[in-house]
């Protein structure tokens, strides 16, 4: 691989949500700050949404680490394609509650409630984080809403943070979801990174991976990478990784624009700037200019 070629201790553009690579891009930091403030205020339901690859899972993992460092009790469900029964059992597992798979649902709820009350008595806040929440079945969404009914006279016993794709917002906008929607007091919608943000993001990940030089990616290469990825971190990682491989293959220490364009053409979902021939032929203005140019070059032809 290209690690030794660029003096890296590890691959900088892995797709795993490694929190050591968390980049404090303003929009991502704002989402994280919102989550921390909302939990500090004992809000019951909080939501973060964004497109595929925008960085939700990394923010979720970063939040998990911060909450654990602060002494909060956390339950994490990364794959919520679960029915209500399985969801309750998984929450019980996350809270360390001993139970049998055959335990009736009402008993599981009772055990969860008793554990939450015990933790509250110890002044411990409990937070349930659900990634990919758009995949939750309707019945499980309702089960999660009912979890937040567990409360004392002054505070919620369980706080829920939902991370999901825009489809989650669409589902919550339905009349049947109005009870849950009304309980979400804080939310944040993640946006793609800006051109300057992409530049900082690439430099940050290279630095964390051990790169000690400067300017691996040429200025025009960064611009092309940002356009090709649409500012989506996951696509930036894929394109940057392939571009570094191409640079290594050529034996060069800098990634130029043509290498990024090659990587973009090789990446599903990336936006290539290359325009098909028919877009020129069927654009009257472009077509006229092209014909006029040829008329000037070829004797005997006029328009």
Residue (of 114, 172, 113) closest to 138 by Cα position: 172
Contacts of 66 (CB under 8 A, 6+ apart): 32, 36
Helices 195-208 and 233-250: crossing angle, nearest 10°? Answer: 60
pTM of the model: 0.85
Pairing of strands 184-189, 159-164: unpaired
pLDDT at 294 over 60: no
Question: What is the CATH number that goes with domain 3-16+193-265?
Answer: 1.10.8
The chain-wide mean pLDDT, for the chain, equals 87
Question: Rounded to whole angstroms, what are the CA distances from 195 to 58, 84, 223, 231?
Answer: 20, 43, 7, 7
Helix (H, G, I), strand (E, B) or coil at 106: helix
Fold exhibited by the domain 26-189: Rossmann fold (3.40.50)
pLDDT in tens, 11-50: 999 999 999 999 999 999 999 999 999 999 888 889 999 9
pLDDT in tens, 223-248: 999 999 999 999 999 999 999 999 99
Helix (H, G, I), strand (E, B) or coil at 81: coil
pLDDT at 106 over 80: yes
- 51, 165 in Cβ contact below 8 A? yes
Q: Is 99 exposed, middle or buried (0-12, 13-18, 19+ CB in 10 A)?
A: middle
Could you tell me the two tokens for 110?
């009772």
Domain ranges of the chain: 3-16+193-265, 26-189
pLDDT at 282 over 60: no
E strands, the chain, are 45-49, 73-77, 126-130, 159-164, 184-189
């Amino acid at each position: 691989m290209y690690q030794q070629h660029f003096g890296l201790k590890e691959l900088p553009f892995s797709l795993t949500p490694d929190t050591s690579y968390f980049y404090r891009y303003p929009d991502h930091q704002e989402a994280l700050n919102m989550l921390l403030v909302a939990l500090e205020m004992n809000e019951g339901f909080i939501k973060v949404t964004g497109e595929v690859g925008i960085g939700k899972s990394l923010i979720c993992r970063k939040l998990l680490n911060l909450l654990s460092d602060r002494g909060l009790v956390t339950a994490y469900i990364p794959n919520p394609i679960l029915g209500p029964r399985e969801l309750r059992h998984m929450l019980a597992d996350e809270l360390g509650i001993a139970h049998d798979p055959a335990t009736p649902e009402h008993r599981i709820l009772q055990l969860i409630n008793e554990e939450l009350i015990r933790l509250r008595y110890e002044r411990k806040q409990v937070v349930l984080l659900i990634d990919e929440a758009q995949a939750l079945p309707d019945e499980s969404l309702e089960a999660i809403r009912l979890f937040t009914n567990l409360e004392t006279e002054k505070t919620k016993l369980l706080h829920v943070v939902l991370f999901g794709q825009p489809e989650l917002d669409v589902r919550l906008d339905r009349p049947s979801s109005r009870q849950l929607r009304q309980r979400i007091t804080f939310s944040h919608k993640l946006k793609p990174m800006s051109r300057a943000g992409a530049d900082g993001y690439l430099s940050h990940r290279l630095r964390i991976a051990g790169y000690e030089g400067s300017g691996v990616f040429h200025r025009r290469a960064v611009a092309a990478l940002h356009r090709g990825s649409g500012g989506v971190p996951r696509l930036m990682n894929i394109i940057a990784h392939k571009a570094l491989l191409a640079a290594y293959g050529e034996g060069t220490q800098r990634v130029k624009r043509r290498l990024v364009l090659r990587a973009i053409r090789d990446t599903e979902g990336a936006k290539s700037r290359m325009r098909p021939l028919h877009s020129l032929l069927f654009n009257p203005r472009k077509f006229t200019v092209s014909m006029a140019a040829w008329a000037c070059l070829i004797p005997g032809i006029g328009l």
